[in-house]
Chain A
Amino acid sequence: MKTGIPHDRDLRAGLTIVALVAFSALASLVFTPFDPNAMDAAHRFALPGWPHLLGTDNFGRDILSRLAVGARFSLIVSLSTVTIGTVFGVLLGMPAGYFGGVVDEVIMRLVDALTSFPGILLALVAVTVLPSGRYTIVAALGVLFVPSFTRIARSGTLQFKDSEFAASARAFGASSFRVMFVHILPNIYPQLLSAIVVGLSNAILAESGMSYLGLGIQPPAPSWGRMLAEAQAFLFNAPWGAIAPGLAIMIAVLGFNRLGEGLRKELGL
């Protein structure tokens, strides 16, 4: 019998961390210790302690509150990014694997072309050319995730397209579309799921990177990457300003990574 607690250590650790990050992101919707954007000149560079548990930054803003709100933006951006990657990856990869031949060649060469650009450069160009805003960053990062999901969807489809149940679905009159999306897709869901979770950790890192470069969510909305960038100037006077978002990024990435790894093992891949 299955118990509620997973046996795998990676899975347990991953679930715990992801739950923690998700909880603080959700909690920030209803409660933060301080207003994350309220400046307080009297309490600039406050040391971690009471009432500012993780201290304040150069404008006297509460770092813990900003971290919690930043978690929300990180999660929203990375979830949307990976969703885009998954949806387009599946829509491109499944027909490529299923039909093979010319369809496969065309789709996979397009995907190769996309991969051959340095990812962050492509995102930078997109952010520069397109109007800035959270949708732009999501779209720019999302495109970067399409190739890997296309490959996963393609290889999963290749694995199942000649399976007997796909053959019998065709034999009772199912269309190619139906065989792909009703019969094969649920069967490659395990591969996709663990790739999605690992993708989330990459997306968090990529989003932080973009924000660090000042290309993510626009100020004053807090984001981990920009908090890091802003604290950089005061690294030697007030290191807690950089350590907190840095640790937050590391912990979130670690959490999703472990979760993905744990799922991969749990799903027997």
Chain B
Amino acid sequence: MSQVLSDTILRILDLRLSIRRRDGLFHAVEGLSLRVGRGEILGLVGESGCGKSLTALSVPALLPDGVERSGGKIIFDGRDLFELGTDELRSIRGGRIGMVFQEPMTSLNPLQRIGEQIEESFELHCGLTRAQRREACVDIIGKVGIPKPGLSAEEAANYYPHQLSGGLRQRVMIAIALACKPQLIIADEPTTALDVTIQAQILDLLRSINADYGCAILFISHDLGVVNELCDRVAVMYAGRIVEEGSVSNVLIHPVHEYTKGLMGSLPGRARKGQRLASIPGRVPPPGQRGSGCAFAPRCARAQNECFLALPPKVELGPNHAVWCFLADVESEMEYVRI
């Protein structure tokens, strides 16, 4: 490779996504920037409707009809994905970027055996012979932990999706995403539809994949507990923008943005046992109803006049913690960042 390998696998620069509706163009994502390092697990957190799923879909250029990119760049492994042709994009999808979706119950073709669906990925990207594909498929079924006593990997490959539970289906999805050893897996709320014990197993699996294959994971979630457990770094998103970003220990233990604080405060925890859970008043403004200032200002307890007038600047609190807020006081926050 002529290109110097950087330590960044995915860089999103000033991404703008617009939803085209009959009554106009709405900006769902407004100038979002992100960086995912090689082998890193980045959590992207936010409420429903803040644009995190669209951001995820925009990476492999799989935006639904009616949503378009109106600006910005998505640079994957040194190349702008929006400048690639369809064929190149297709070889990147599944080949170098794997996707895991939220709904394991419906994300598999109900009429194909799971083995065939996993093999399809090999067929499209790896150019193996039929026998090699079969072998690789059985191998990966074993790796993602589908076999159990009484169900060998070979037998599992012959199952149809409806014969598997949600957790196992999500493992199949992960196997498909993982098949061609991608450099990045985008997981869009992969555990939301699963119950808690299965959630923990899937998180373990993602963690071990990350360790064994060294593939980076962009983990999209609204669950801060899960993010805390799994991710190296976290970016908190609100109304189409990042509001706070940094290492998990910095952001989740010492949140600076009022929104992150609110999210943390609304988590149930042992320390606040017996008390009512705090909630953030109001709701996320839908695209098209956001003012010119900080999108969170109308719900923010500490909002000042300036918050409503202009976008807050990025405040670097340290090498691994940044916040977009007028109220962030660099001096007072500096101490813990060095931890």
Asked if B111 and A186 sit within 8 Å, CB to CB, the answer is yes
> Is A170 an interface residue when CB atoms closer than 8 A count as contact?
yes
> Is A13 an interface residue when CB atoms closer than 8 A count as contact?
no
In the bound complex, residues from chain B placing their C-beta under 8 Å from that of A174 are 90, 94, 120, 124
Residue in contact with B121 in the complex, picked from A164, A170, A172, A175, CB distance below 8 Å: A172
In the bound complex, residues from chain B placing their C-beta under 8 Å from that of A187 are 109-111
Residue of chain A at shortest CB distance from B173: A168
User: Min CB distance, B131 to chain A, in Å?
Assistant: 21
In the bound complex, residues from chain A placing their C-beta under 8 Å from that of B179 are 172
User: Min CB distance, A263 to chain B, in Å?
Assistant: 17
Encoded as 1 (CB less than 8 Å from any B CB) or 0, chain A from 153 to 177 comes to 0000000001111011111111100
Given the interface pairs A172-B120, A173-B90, A174-B124, the reply to whether A164 lies near B107 with Cβ below 8 Å is yes
Given the interface pairs A164-B103, A167-B101, the reply to whether A173 lies near B93 with Cβ below 8 Å is yes
Given the interface pairs A171-B60, A171-B62, the reply to whether A164 lies near B93 with Cβ below 8 Å is no
Asked if A168 and B108 sit within 8 Å, CB to CB, the answer is yes
> Is A100 an interface residue when CB atoms closer than 8 A count as contact?
yes
Q: Which of B42-89 contact A (CB under 8 A)?
A: 60, 62, 64-65
In the bound complex, residues from chain A placing their C-beta under 8 Å from that of B94 are 171-174
> Is A183 an interface residue when CB atoms closer than 8 A count as contact?
yes
Asked if B101 and A168 sit within 8 Å, CB to CB, the answer is yes
Asked if A167 and B107 sit within 8 Å, CB to CB, the answer is yes
Residue of chain A at shortest CB distance from B176: A172
> Is B99 an interface residue when CB atoms closer than 8 A count as contact?
yes
Asked if B64 and A170 sit within 8 Å, CB to CB, the answer is no
Give bound CA distance, A162 to B109, whole Å.
13
Asked if B62 and A173 sit within 8 Å, CB to CB, the answer is no
Asked if B121 and A173 sit within 8 Å, CB to CB, the answer is yes
Residue in contact with B93 in the complex, picked from A162, A172, A186, CB distance below 8 Å: A172
Give bound CA distance, A162 to B111, whole Å.
17
In the bound complex, residues from chain A placing their C-beta under 8 Å from that of B176 are 168, 172
The size class of the interface chain A forms with chain B is: 10 to 19
Chain B, interface SS category: loop
Asked if B62 and A167 sit within 8 Å, CB to CB, the answer is yes
Residue of chain B at shortest CB distance from A166: B109
Encoded as 1 (CB less than 8 Å from any A CB) or 0, chain B from 226 to 244 comes to 0000000000000000000
Residue of chain A at shortest CB distance from B177: A172
In the bound complex, residues from chain B placing their C-beta under 8 Å from that of A173 are 90-95, 121, 124-125
Give bound CA distance, A168 to B109, whole Å.
9
> Is B115 an interface residue when CB atoms closer than 8 A count as contact?
no
Give bound CA distance, A183 to B121, whole Å.
13
Residue in contact with A172 in the complex, picked from B65, B98, B106, CB distance below 8 Å: B98
Give bound CA distance, A187 to B108, whole Å.
12
Residue in contact with B124 in the complex, picked from A163, A172, A183, CB distance below 8 Å: A172
Q: Which of A28-75 contact B (CB under 8 A)?
A: none
Asked if A171 and B90 sit within 8 Å, CB to CB, the answer is no
Asked if B65 and A100 sit within 8 Å, CB to CB, the answer is yes
Give bound CA distance, A162 to B66, whole Å.
13
* Most chain B Cβ neighbours within 10 Å, of A163, A165, A171, A182: A171
Residue of chain B at shortest CB distance from A187: B111
Give bound CA distance, A66 to B49, whole Å.
70
Asked if A164 and B106 sit within 8 Å, CB to CB, the answer is yes
In the bound complex, residues from chain A placing their C-beta under 8 Å from that of B110 are 165, 187
In the bound complex, residues from chain B placing their C-beta under 8 Å from that of A170 are 62, 93
In the bound complex, residues from chain B placing their C-beta under 8 Å from that of A183 are 109, 112
Asked if A171 and B93 sit within 8 Å, CB to CB, the answer is yes
In the bound complex, residues from chain A placing their C-beta under 8 Å from that of B95 are 173
In the bound complex, residues from chain A placing their C-beta under 8 Å from that of B111 are 186-187
In the bound complex, residues from chain B placing their C-beta under 8 Å from that of A162 are 64
Give bound CA distance, A64 to B92, whole Å.
65
Residue of chain B at shortest CB distance from A171: B99
Asked if B90 and A165 sit within 8 Å, CB to CB, the answer is no
In the bound complex, residues from chain B placing their C-beta under 8 Å from that of A164 are 101, 103, 106-107
Residue of chain B at shortest CB distance from A160: B109
User: Min CB distance, A190 to chain B, in Å?
Assistant: 10
Give bound CA distance, A187 to B65, whole Å.
22
* Most chain B Cβ neighbours within 10 Å, of A165, A168, A183: A168
In the bound complex, residues from chain B placing their C-beta under 8 Å from that of A167 are 62, 101, 107
User: Min CB distance, B213 to chain A, in Å?
Assistant: 16
User: Min CB distance, A91 to chain B, in Å?
Assistant: 20
Give bound CA distance, A25 to B120, whole Å.
42
Asked if B121 and A165 sit within 8 Å, CB to CB, the answer is no
Asked if B108 and A165 sit within 8 Å, CB to CB, the answer is yes
For the A-B complex with A171-B93, A173-B124 known, give 19 more contacts whose Cβ atoms are closer than 8 Å.
A165-B106, A165-B108, A165-B109, A165-B110, A167-B62, A168-B108, A169-B120, A171-B60, A171-B62, A171-B99, A172-B93, A172-B120, A173-B90, A174-B124, A178-B124, A183-B109, A186-B109, A186-B112, A187-B110
The 13 sampled A-B contact pairs (Cβ below 8 Å) are A163-B106, A164-B101, A167-B62, A168-B107, A168-B173, A168-B176, A170-B62, A170-B93, A171-B93, A172-B176, A173-B90, A173-B125, A186-B111
Closest 7 CB pairs of A and B: A172-B94, A173-B94, A171-B99, A173-B93, A164-B106, A164-B107, A165-B109
